[in-house]
Amino acid sequence: MAWQSYELDRIAQKLVLNARDRDPKSLNQSHKMRMAVPYGLERFWGEHLRLKGKKLEDQNKSIFWKETWDSLAQVMKKAGVTIPNDPVRPDSRGQIPTAEIQGMSEKLWSLTIEEQRVAIAVLTQLCDCIVWWTQRYKTGRSNDDTDS
């Protein structure tokens, strides 16, 4: 089996640039994403829901998390592993039905241990790349000659 990069660095760069265009402050989420990875796929996936539907700044953060999850699902599909990525939509009251959240969680927990480990490894690398690009593209940093 030959090594395949799956272009994680390129994907991460695109995610960071998209987030930067939407709201430069949302780039602070990159470090939180990387810190969330060890807690598991279901917690990482659920974080976009926590931020969804709040003020615009939080919605932009939610989009960054969700786009990262979508990218993970696409990469894993290329690798032959299907990561659940069901759409969850608010009901008429603006709340996401508990059954939809439970359904996604169950699907994530039903992945084999091997699939979970591979997905966590790929997500870790993707988030590391996101952090790296965030550090390069973050706006508002002071230009320091020693930081070149």
pLDDT recorded at residue 141: 56
Residue 29 domain-assigned (yes or no)? yes
Per-residue pLDDT of the chain in tens (148 residues, 90 and over written 9): 556 678 999 999 999 999 999 999 999 999 999 999 999 999 999 999 999 877 888 899 999 999 999 999 999 999 999 999 998 888 888 788 899 999 999 999 999 999 999 999 999 999 999 999 999 998 765 554 444 4
Residue 147 domain-assigned (yes or no)? no
pLDDT recorded at residue 142: 52
pLDDT recorded at residue 6: 80
Our count of domains for the chain comes to 1
- At 117, give phi and psi (nearest 5°): -65, -45
Residue 82 domain-assigned (yes or no)? yes
Q: Look-up: residue for tokens 């002071």?
A: 142
Vertex 96 angle, CA 31 and 76, to 5°: 50
Q: Look-up: residue for tokens 């090594």?
A: 3
Residue 148 domain-assigned (yes or no)? no
Closest CA to 106 of 64, 45, 52, 38: 45
Amino acid type, 81: V
CATH number at residue 17: 1.10.520
**Domain membership of residue 118 as a residue range:** 8-89+96-137
Closest CA to 124 of 39, 59, 64, 67: 39
Residue 145 domain-assigned (yes or no)? no
Residue 20 domain-assigned (yes or no)? yes
Residue 119 domain-assigned (yes or no)? yes
Residue 1 domain-assigned (yes or no)? no
pLDDT recorded at residue 26: 93
Q: Which two tokens stand for residue 108?
A: 């994530």
pLDDT recorded at residue 147: 47
pLDDT recorded at residue 90: 80
